[in-house]
Structure 1
Amino acid sequence: MRFRACAIAAAATAALMTPLAASAASAAPTGCTASEADIYAAPGEVTGNPGELLACREVKLSNIPGDVPMKAWKVRYVSTDTKGAKNIVTGTVAIPTAAWTKSGSRPTVAFNPGTLGSGPQCAFSKQLAGQYVDMYEGGNLQLFLKAGYAVTATDGVGYLDGQVHTYVIGANAGHALLDIVRAARLLPGGSLKPDGKVGISGYSEGGAASLWAAQLASSYAPDVNVVGAAAGGVPGDLKLVAKQLNGSAFAGFLADALVGLNAAYPEMPFNELMNDAGKRAVADVRKNCLYGTLAVFLGARVENYTKDKLTLDQIYKLTGPGGVTWSDVVDRQKLGVDVGTADSAAKYKIGFPVFQYRGWLEEIIPHETEDATRAAYCKAGINTTWKNTYPTEHLSTDWGAAGDVTNFLGDRFEDKPVKSNC
């Protein structure tokens, strides 16, 4: 990245090349006795390697229906941010108590939730444990657990005390999703093995995170045996999505994205652009969850929140340190760029099958960007299964496709062949 000094970049690279499992195991807590405050405490100085388990707390996941017998923990672990610096992320690990009776070690589904909002109470780990209810994917996790798979569900970056969620920031999301798998294998009282197969899953915001994890897996986490990824409702090109959201009934998603971009790239112009309404808008994003944010920003337009009535196109042209524009920053989050197969020269190598999907009645994410992400994967020769025939709109597609997602990943865990339908 342009903003990283060479010495810091070198140090980060060296850290990634360290034998992670051995290093992290030596520092893992001896028991899951952390308090609630310990899990979400402000980060302070971050040490340790990506995937290192820093703290854990056994919990009951009251918002996963069906009373699937399981053990579950909240976890706090080390990851890497979009600029290569170490950060701390929280999440949930759930392991069925029934013995795994199929071949090999128990597989894991690494899961990133869809949009939950940016308030501290919105963290998926808090909602799964019943501390706040504004989420909708407990049933998705139930399907994975009933099939016997462990689940590692990241909160994503930005739910520690004093932080704000870095919504739709690609590398942050992908790293956090891969690192929670590493952390789960270090749990005292856990049973997950380093050779266990891993499937990645997510929808909407989670779908973007799923594909970012898929793109980063081979270079960032070669020790994590990813065998498949499922991603639906994917906002692959944030500029196309922003254009559609601005002034719409779903402008709250755009508000989350703008505040999330500022959280990840605080050196770029942002706060100084705001008028009084803009300052209140940032405060609203930082305190609300999904439905509250959508209500507050119903029909909102970004032009009304800056002193100079800036349009999205004008904001993209604004520059930060080194002449980097907001356009450059947003384009870094675009999916399907420089992707290829495992034996290609692409920056992002994917050597396992991918399932991408969207609802036929999708009304939030433009069809053009979802279709384009699929087309980019197909053009790159990545084994891609595509389905866009669900008779559902955006939110209901998450549930409507859940059975197909579970089956797709289950087939990957059993090494069943799948032919691309590109």
Structure 2
Amino acid sequence: MLAVTGTATTALGLLLAVRPLSSLTALGIYTGVSCVVSGLGDLLARRDRAGKLSLIIGIGWVLAGVSVFAWLGRSLQLLGPFVAGLLVVTGAVKLLELRRGLSTDRLLTAAFGLSELAFGLAAWVWPDVTLLVVALLFGVRTAGFGLSLLWRGAVAARRGSSAQVALRPGLARFRAARWMAAGVVLLLAGATLVISERFRQGIPVLDGFYDAPDVVPAEPGQLLRAERYDGDLPEGLTAYRILYTTTADEGVPGLASGVVAVPVEPAGRPTPLIAWAHGTVGVARACAPSLGRNAISTEGMPSMDALARNGWGMVATDYIGQGTEGAFPYLVGQGEGRSVLDAVRAAHQIDGLDLAPETVIWGHSQGGHAALWAGQLAPTYAPDVEVVGTAALSAASDTLGMAQLVTAHPGALGASLAISFVLAAYSRTYPDISLDDVTPAARTLVKEAAARCTSEPGTLLTVLTGVAISRDTPILVHDPATGAVGRRLRQNVALGPWPAPLFLAQGTADEVISARLQDEYVARLCAAGRPLRYERYEGKTHMGILEPDSPLNADLAQWTEDRLAGLPQQNTCQ
């Protein structure tokens, strides 16, 4: 019996050790069962006692176990903070032992207490990593318990069930081992704190510029605030940071921020505007590009040398909900498109700027999705904005197809980030979607990932945890093509029409946006009679398509010149 039980338990432990989400779920169920059994045990053991306290305690344990089952997702979300708090409390208690005087045993206890405090602080800051560690340890502990059963079975078979193996290490050797263990644990705890602090460095901090004024106009596209922007601009440009009104996806007024850059040397004519829609940087409020120095930069943006050379200006929105309060519309077409168009309206209200009415929209990745929606919405939402062309580069055009691809390949780098960003944004935007659509054990991971920006070092932890759970339970409870999630993803695929010329570009080696999906999206538009120009760039990756040596730069600059000149565009559908 010991051999059979030990083998099964060891196998289960090894399986849980490499499947963190399953391990967390098993731990939650185990905790609930333990509470119920403990409560029933208390009630049975104390049935002859008259005290009400024992009755209340027993009932309390049973109710606690039932609660763990009923709200398993919430219970697992509380597990990380509980572990952190437990470590801090036990560490502090061990340190308090020093008040009774210094001795070898108390110093050792204090050393372990310091390490527990350090691990507790790290666990509080990184709850998602803490949960994965807890899941791993639960699996390892289960496997260890199984191995102990196998050992007991082997000993019983050799020496009889009553045989015992007494291990009596020398006292000096035992104390030396304790000091060595204390040193190793303290070293690990110190390294954990240092690494934790390094990962937290570089987190953007909001300033008062993004605070809503006392009076906010209901009309979208109104400039509320403007100030000089001193970021790392392409040569020959000067810039302003702006705060303006826009419209949230549900139709209520909202605020957005952005940056407007214009040539330092006037060209002797009004300056045409390029409306830039940035790619994925996160979904948290502090991820706004205008907070940093690269809102308009040669890094990760195409044809930047063409701006000053050709006398073009650029307005780069942060979108609603980044910088400002509100629900960030990640891959939510209406919110993205309105933020882009209202940024153009606001830019025209900056004192001292002479801007031309013509506007060309550029966007990359998520911004390509935003550009498609802005060009599609312009005639109805912002007819006063004269859009003469829309360029969507490596665009997240087919949101549904992308979601299906990501869930089919969960081990791909960034897959967990993409799922987390979409679920966080959609749950804040649509009433029929919530974090209940996420597997209970993965909800903390999704919430923590959605609270980070891609520029933060801590995002590396999110990517690594995503890889760690890639072969485990899917993050989503249901197939993303079904239910409310699937319906909303389909709703956010831009299908036109686009009154102005449309240009789509795609790298064939893109590791984020599948070239096959882009080909299928373009074929779908062509079949619907949408004229467009589609260019594929051989060997170019998702960001490589924007590098200075990419042929896209020259193509995009020439295409933009042609749009501003009013020339017709070739329809590659034909």
* TM-score, structure 1 as length reference: 0.76
Q: Which residue number in structure 2 is paired with residue 410 of structure 1?
A: 561
Q: 2:327, 2:429 within 8 Å by CA — same for their partners in 1?
A: no
d(CA) in 1 for partners of 2:435, 2:212: 23
Q: 1:175, 1:213 within 8 Å by CA — same for their partners in 2?
A: yes
1:257-289 superposed Cα distances (whole Å, 9 cap, x missing partner): 221222322552226856364224312321332
1:179-236 superposed Cα distances (whole Å, 9 cap, x missing partner): 100000011232224xx21100011111111111111111111111111111111122
For the pair 1:154 / 2:317, whether they are aligned, the reply is yes
Hey, which of these two has a bigger chunk of helix by percent?
Answer: 2
Q: Which residue number in structure 1 is paired with residue 308 of structure 2?
A: 145
d(CA) in 1 for partners of 2:436, 2:259: 33
Q: Which residue number in structure 2 is paired with residue 331 of structure 1?
A: 490
Q: 1:335, 1:373 within 8 Å by CA — same for their partners in 2?
A: no
Distance 1:375 1:95, change over 3 A: same
Tell me the secondary structure at the aligned position of residue 228 of structure 2.
strand
Tell me the secondary structure at the aligned position of residue 238 of structure 2.
strand
Match of 1:250 among 414, 426, 433: 414
Tell me the secondary structure at the aligned position of residue 197 of structure 1.
strand
Distance 1:272 1:241, change over 3 A: closer
For the pair 1:54 / 2:54, whether they are aligned, the reply is no
d(CA) in 2 for partners of 1:72, 1:355: 27
For the pair 1:300 / 2:483, whether they are aligned, the reply is no
Q: Which residue number in structure 1 is paired with residue 375 of structure 2?
A: 214
Distance 1:142 1:153, change over 3 A: farther
Distance 1:372 1:139, change over 3 A: closer
Alignment of 1:70-219 (within 5 A): 70-101=237-268, 105-128=270-293, 136-137=299-300, 140-160=303-323, 163=326, 165-193=328-356, 196-219=357-380
1:10-61 superposed Cα distances (whole Å, 9 cap, x missing partner): xxxxxxxxxxxxxxxxxxxxxxxxxx83431258885331111111111123
Q: 2:400, 2:481 within 8 Å by CA — same for their partners in 1?
A: no
Quote how far apart the aligned CAs of 1:109 are: 0.3
For the pair 1:357 / 2:513, whether they are aligned, the reply is no
Alignment of 1:262-277 (within 5 A): 262-265=427-430, 268-270=433-435, 275=440, 277=442
Q: Which residue number in structure 1 is paired with residue 99 of structure 2?
A: none
Q: Which residue number in structure 1 is paired with residue 444 of structure 2?
A: 279
d(CA) in 1 for partners of 2:274, 2:295: 21
Tell me the secondary structure at the aligned position of residue 361 of structure 1.
coil
Tell me the secondary structure at the aligned position of residue 394 of structure 1.
coil
Distance 1:376 1:45, change over 3 A: farther
d(CA) in 2 for partners of 1:220, 1:277: 38
What residue identity is the alignment partner of 2:242?
V
Q: 2:271, 2:312 within 8 Å by CA — same for their partners in 1?
A: yes
Q: 2:245, 2:255 within 8 Å by CA — same for their partners in 1?
A: yes
Match of 2:545 among 365, 376, 397: 397
Q: 2:256, 2:324 within 8 Å by CA — same for their partners in 1?
A: no
Alignment of 1:380-391 (within 5 A): 380-391=528-539
Q: Percent identity?
A: 25
d(CA) in 1 for partners of 2:318, 2:300: 13
Quote how far apart the aligned CAs of 1:149 are: 0.5
Q: 1:255, 1:297 within 8 Å by CA — same for their partners in 2?
A: no
d(CA) in 2 for partners of 1:145, 1:377: 34
Quote how far apart the aligned CAs of 1:395 are: 1.2
- Larger mean CA deviation between 288-297 and 152-161 belongs to 288-297
Tell me the secondary structure at the aligned position of residue 93 of structure 1.
strand
Q: What residue ranges of structure 1 are gaps of 5+ in the alignment?
A: 1-35, 319-324, 341-349
d(CA) in 2 for partners of 1:353, 1:312: 40
d(CA) in 2 for partners of 1:256, 1:86: 23
d(CA) in 1 for partners of 2:238, 2:286: 23
What residue identity is the alignment partner of 2:509?
L
Q: 2:254, 2:326 within 8 Å by CA — same for their partners in 1?
A: no
Q: Which residue number in structure 1 is paired with residue 77 of structure 2?
A: none
d(CA) in 1 for partners of 2:530, 2:230: 39
d(CA) in 1 for partners of 2:504, 2:305: 21
- Larger mean CA deviation between 202-211 and 46-55 belongs to 46-55
Root mean square deviation, CA, Å: 3.1
Which has more radius of gyration? Answer: 2
Tell me the secondary structure at the aligned position of residue 50 of structure 1.
coil
d(CA) in 2 for partners of 1:146, 1:216: 30
For the pair 1:241 / 2:399, whether they are aligned, the reply is no
Quote how far apart the aligned CAs of 1:302 are: 12
Q: What residue ranges of structure 2 are gaps of 5+ in the alignment?
A: 1-205
Q: Which residue number in structure 1 is paired with residue 58 of structure 2?
A: none
Quote how far apart the aligned CAs of 1:367 are: 2.4
Quote how far apart the aligned CAs of 1:244 are: 2.4
Hey, which of these two has a bigger chunk of strand by percent?
Answer: 1
What residue identity is the alignment partner of 2:414?
F
1:152-205 superposed Cα distances (whole Å, 9 cap, x missing partner): 100112113555633111111111111100000011232224xx2110001111
What residue identity is the alignment partner of 2:571?
S
Distance 1:272 1:243, change over 3 A: closer
* TM-score, structure 2 as length reference: 0.57
Q: 1:82, 1:172 within 8 Å by CA — same for their partners in 2?
A: yes
Distance 1:97 1:282, change over 3 A: same
- Larger mean CA deviation between 261-270 and 40-49 belongs to 40-49
d(CA) in 1 for partners of 2:395, 2:482: 25
Count of residues in correspondence between the two structures? 360
What residue identity is the alignment partner of 2:222?
E
Q: 1:245, 1:364 within 8 Å by CA — same for their partners in 2?
A: no
